[in-house]
Amino acid sequence: MINLIRSVFQQNLRGLSVSSSNTTLPSSRKTRSLAGTIRQSDGSTIKTSEEDCCICMDKCTIPKRLGCGHIFCKECIDTQFKYKATCPACGAVFGRLYGDQPPGTMTIYTQSASLPGYPDDGTIEIRYNIPAGKQQENHPTPGAYYEAINRPGFLPDNEKGRLVCKLLNVAFSRKQIFTIGRSRTTGKDGVVTWNDIHHKTRREGGPPRFGYPDPSYLDRVTEELQVKGVTEDTLDDPDEYKEYTRVIKY
Ligand SMILES: [Zn+2]
Ligand SMILES: [Zn+2]
């Protein structure tokens, strides 16, 4: 889906640059082709005549190409990245986004019993454990105490479920699974809560009871992880599994 959106964007950008060069006077085109290529700080080069910066809508004087292929003025994109390390054209996330999840552990077990909707597969059971502690500087009320939590998460033990489990593991290492805020169920402030990556906390009961069957759940949670910058691209980096993680066997 994202790849499709990206390629549509690139086609649009290509379309734009073609139409703009068609309307360019020959003299200025000559000037630009004489300008040739510009060397970026990382040593790679970009043709100066190719792209407009979609932040300032002007030609890129000092261009910088992001990993997704989009090009911006170095100054424009560096300023944007101070707020959010995402591409303004396609939304691709760069660098790792870290959350404010308090210290804890994620433990993963497998069981032979199946989940509703996945009769041929066993179950992956995740247990998150965040011990009680004191809010830090990056939390809403530094110094205030929060209570311990234990939360389960269930996934089918099949290819897709194991992939989601690994992505959740990466998100946990980046402190993105939980945050400290207001509990949606009790309305109480200053508690450890889920952070917009939905979990199946029961085996059964369907969506109303946060259980299975729910055929689109694995796709939805994959998208929620993608929003946090956790994608398959990052799965092979052992650094992603270091923090607050134990008993991982894939
Ligand atoms: Zn610009
Ligand atoms: Zn982009």
pLDDT digit string (tens) for 203-226?
999 999 999 999 999 999 999 998
Distances in Å between the alpha carbon of 29 and those of 48, 65, 245?
11, 22, 56
Amino acid 52: pLDDT: 84
Query: How far does residue 49's CA lie from ligand 1's centre (Å)?
Result: 14
> Which ligand is closest in space to the CA of residue 80?
1
**Prediction pTM value:** 0.65
Using the predicted structure, report yes or no on whether residue 123 has a pLDDT greater than 90.
yes
Query: How far does residue 72's CA lie from ligand 1's centre (Å)?
Result: 5
- Please give the single-letter amino acid code of residue 239: D
Domains of the chain by range and CATH? 2-83 (3.30.40), 105-241 (3.30.390.130)
Band of the pLDDT at 125, cuts 50, 70, 90? very high
> Which ligand is closest in space to the CA of residue 58?
1
Looking at residue 84, the DSSP 8-state letter turns out to be -
- Please give the single-letter amino acid code of residue 191: V
Query: Which of the listed ranges 5-19, 22-36, 179-193 does the model predict with the highest average pLDDT?
Result: 179-193
Using the predicted structure, report yes or no on whether residue 24 has a pLDDT greater than 80.
no
* Per-residue tokens: 213: 């069957």
Amino acid 28: pLDDT: 36
The single residue listed with the structure tokens 């402030």 is 189
Average pLDDT over residues 73-78: 88
* Per-residue tokens: 176: 């993105």
Stronger pLDDT, 149 or 23, i.e. the higher one = 149
Band of the pLDDT at 42, cuts 50, 70, 90? low
Per-residue pLDDT tens digits for 110-122: 899 999 999 999 9
Band of the pLDDT at 139, cuts 50, 70, 90? very high
Stronger pLDDT, 211 or 65, i.e. the higher one = 211
Amino acid 58: pLDDT: 87
Query: How far does residue 82's CA lie from ligand 1's centre (Å)?
Result: 15
Rounded CA separation 135/120 (Å): 43
Name the maximum alpha-carbon separation found in the chain.
73
Query: How far does residue 51's CA lie from ligand 1's centre (Å)?
Result: 10
CA angle 184, 188, 190 (to 5 degrees): 105
> Which ligand is closest in space to the CA of residue 66?
2
Query: How far does residue 218's CA lie from ligand 2's centre (Å)?
Result: 26
Query: How far does residue 6's CA lie from ligand 2's centre (Å)?
Result: 7
Query: How far does residue 71's CA lie from ligand 2's centre (Å)?
Result: 8
Query: How far does residue 220's CA lie from ligand 1's centre (Å)?
Result: 35
Query: How far does residue 4's CA lie from ligand 1's centre (Å)?
Result: 25
Band of the pLDDT at 47, cuts 50, 70, 90? low
Stronger pLDDT, 41 or 126, i.e. the higher one = 126
Report CA torsion sign: 153, 168, 248, 232. Answer: positive
Using the predicted structure, report yes or no on whether residue 65 has a pLDDT greater than 60.
yes
Residues with CB under 5 A from ligand 1 (ion): 53, 55-56, 73, 76
Band of the pLDDT at 94, cuts 50, 70, 90? confident
Give the up-direction half-sphere exposure of residue 241: CA atoms within 13 A in the CB hemisphere.
15
Amino acid 32: pLDDT: 35
Whether 50 and 61 have beta carbons less than 8 Å apart is answered as no
* Per-residue tokens: 220: 């939805």
Helix, strand, coil shares of the chain, percent, nearest 5, are 30, 25, 45
